[in-house]
Amino acid sequence: MQLADFLAINIFQFMLVFARLGVVFIMLPGFSAVYVNPRIRLIFALLVTLLALPMVENLLPPQPESPADLIWLITAEMIVGGFLGSLVQVIMAALELAGQMIATTTGITNALTDDPVTQEQSSIVIGMINLVAVTMIFVTNTHHFLLSAVIDSYNLLVPGARLFTRDMITMIGALLDQAFYMGIKLAAPFLVFELVFQVTSGILARLSPQLNVFFVVMPGKIVLGFAILMVSLPTIILVFLHFMDNSLHGLLTPLNAVAPVR
């Protein structure tokens, strides 16, 4: 084999792996943040591709003969990368739902700030929970597991094989259901607090009709809400990290692809 042929095969394999990993890096928590320089993100994606190539090269198909087949192969890998990144984003959406519920029940929905993760205006509670969650993902080395899960996906979603789009949509739908359930579960203490607080406020309003109950109890509601958040935040993050770990394990195992995570 000539040197030119050897280099051509390696470049093809590198491009094929980068097509999947590059799209995943755009959507991974922390790496996908707007404040991360795109060049830094590209360098990380190239380095991870270089490290992952020897582990997956036996699963890569041979170089296609026609340009059309090459374009389709790279496009399919980008679709798979987008699918894997979407799974992680759906998991992170559980925190968004929980944060929105917490902000609503504590009465600070309109306290908006710039979310350092998404660089969008959102409730201050959502921004804080997102920032803590992303920090803990890196502190606990969960990002290593995310990268390992992406590399392990080559055993389940083999390059060049048929795309099971129906199964992909089913998996995303099942994960959306689990993320919705987890978001409510994370915000459960605040939902109970809201119920008790509203019932108590209603009783006070009936006992003292001349008293502006909303004006009197609203500061207490905010203080109590922040107190509950301060106590429950470590548990919220730990439960979420456990949910992320279980979800990725189940979704990347064919027999447990749509098994619910509770």
User: Mind listing the pLDDT tens digit for each residue in 13-65?
Assistant: 888 888 888 888 888 887 777 777 778 888 888 888 888 888 888 888 888 88
pLDDT tier at 110 (50, 70, 90 boundaries)?
low
pLDDT digits (tens, 9 = 90+) for 145-198: 888 888 888 888 888 777 777 888 888 888 899 999 999 999 999 999 888 888
Burial per residue of 96-116, b for 16 or more beta-carbon CB atoms within 10 angstroms, e otherwise:
bbbbbbbbbbbbbbeeeeebe
Neighbour-count burial of 35, counting CB atoms closer than 10 A to its CB (0-12 exposed, 13-18 middle, 19+ buried): exposed
Residue 170's contacts (CB-CB under 8 Å, 6 or more residues apart) are 257, 258
If DSSP codes are grouped into helix, strand and coil, which group holds residue 113? Answer: strand
What is the bridge-based pairing of β-strands 121-123 and 112-114? Answer: antiparallel
pLDDT digits (tens, 9 = 90+) for 58-97: 888 888 888 888 888 888 888 888 888 888 889 988 988 8
What does the pLDDT read at residue 262? 41
pLDDT tier at 236 (50, 70, 90 boundaries)?
very high
Q: Is the pLDDT of residue 260 over 60?
A: no
What does the pLDDT read at residue 210? 75
What does the pLDDT read at residue 239? 92
What does the pLDDT read at residue 4? 56
pLDDT tier at 261 (50, 70, 90 boundaries)?
very low
CA dihedral 28, 32, 33, 34 (to 10 degrees): -170
Q: Which amino acid belongs to residue 138?
A: F
The CA distance from 104 to 4, in Å, is 62
- Least confident range of 2-6, 11-15, 79-83, 209-213: 2-6
The CA distance from 27 to 96, in Å, is 16
Residue 186's contacts (CB-CB under 8 Å, 6 or more residues apart) are 94, 95, 98, 236, 239, 240
Q: Report residue 259: phi and psi, to 5°.
A: -75, 135
What does the pLDDT read at residue 32? 74
The CA distance from 89 to 95, in Å, is 10
Query: Residue 131: which of 143, 115, 144 has the closest Cα?
Result: 115
Q: Is the pLDDT of residue 3 over 60?
A: no
Token readout for 44 is 């990380």
Element (H, E) at 159: none
Element (H, E) at 219: helix 213-251
